[in-house]
Amino acid sequence: MKNKTTLPSRPLIQQLRIAVVIFFVSVTTTPAFAQATTAIGTAKVWGTVDGIAIEGVVQGPSVQVSDLQVACVFEYTEGDIFKSPPALPPALNGLVHLDQDMKGLLTEIRKGGKFLGHANETLLLTPPKGTIGGRRLLLIGLGDRNKFTPELMTGIGSVAMREALKLGVTSFSFASDLKDAGIDSPTALVAGNVVKGIFEAYRAQLWLKEKQMVQVKPISKVILLAGPAFFTTAGEGIQEAVSAIKN
């Protein structure tokens, strides 16, 4: 396994605040910070399908360097990402770090009703240079947190891929935000469903391209962000999904 660290030039305080946030969550009730962890910055390609490498990286959405960063959020409830429990403590919460690096704009957008977070709703932002690692930030809504099921993530993965293709990026990174929001869900299943949705959308666009209905710029890599405690489990789900897609 090869380790890598992103944004070496960022201020030290931001490097120290790298999100040890769990985006692909586990069914276990053991606190994330009590589990065996994988080093921040660890990266591994879990598989390749249709020329697209699916890479897992232990990193948070405010730090990961990418042309497009995808972050998922539920419909807003007062102080939701800051209340712990059920949300992760601020020091471990990637959405809190994302909000802080954007000067509170994430909360302002959600609280002010400018982005409602309905399931599959999207909002594309171009954060000021130097605030986060992503050149652009795509928010995707997860809907009502009380109605969440892992199956939703297949559609969310499809939305992420379609939006990435519209923007013409060659790669993008994705964070599901489930653990940050205090949602307990099976890590491997969630990760696998995201991958399945990504390729459902990609293959549909390739088919339309063959029919000369769309123009598509190929994607070369999708980076799935995971927290230190669930990197391996998420990888197992990704590998299983890749195998199923190839068959």
Q: What are phi and psi of 106, to 5 degrees?
A: -60, -45
- Do the strands 171-175 and 221-226 form a parallel or antiparallel pair, or are they unpaired? parallel
In this structure, are residues 193 and 185 in contact, taking their beta carbons and an 8 Å threshold?
no
Residue 32 has a pLDDT of 39
| Tens digit of each residue's pLDDT, the chain (247 residues) | 444 444 444 444 444 343 333 333 332 333 434 456 899 999 999 999 999 999 999 999 999 999 999 999 999 999 999 987 788 788 778 899 999 999 999 999 999 999 999 999 999 999 999 999 999 999 999 999 999 999 999 999 999 999 999 999 999 999 998 877 888 889 999 999 999 999 999 999 999 999 999 999 999 999 999 888 889 999 999 999 999 999 8
Q: What are phi and psi of 189, to 5 degrees?
A: -65, -45
CA distance 95 to 87: 10
CA distance 95 to 204: 31
Residue 136 has a pLDDT of 98
Instruction: Name the pTM for this structure.
Output: 0.84
Spell out the domain ranges in the chain.
23-246
In this structure, are residues 10 and 16 in contact, taking their beta carbons and an 8 Å threshold?
no
Q: Which CATH number fits domain 23-246: 3.40.220.10, 1.10.1030.10, 3.40.190.10, 3.30.1130.10?
A: 3.40.220.10
Q: What are phi and psi of 163, to 5 degrees?
A: -70, -40
In this structure, are residues 116 and 75 in contact, taking their beta carbons and an 8 Å threshold?
yes
Residue 30 has a pLDDT of 35
Q: How is the beta sheet containing 2-3 ordered, strand by strand? A: 2-3, 42-49, 52-58, 221-226, 171-175, 66-73, 134-141, 122-125
Residue 35 has a pLDDT of 53
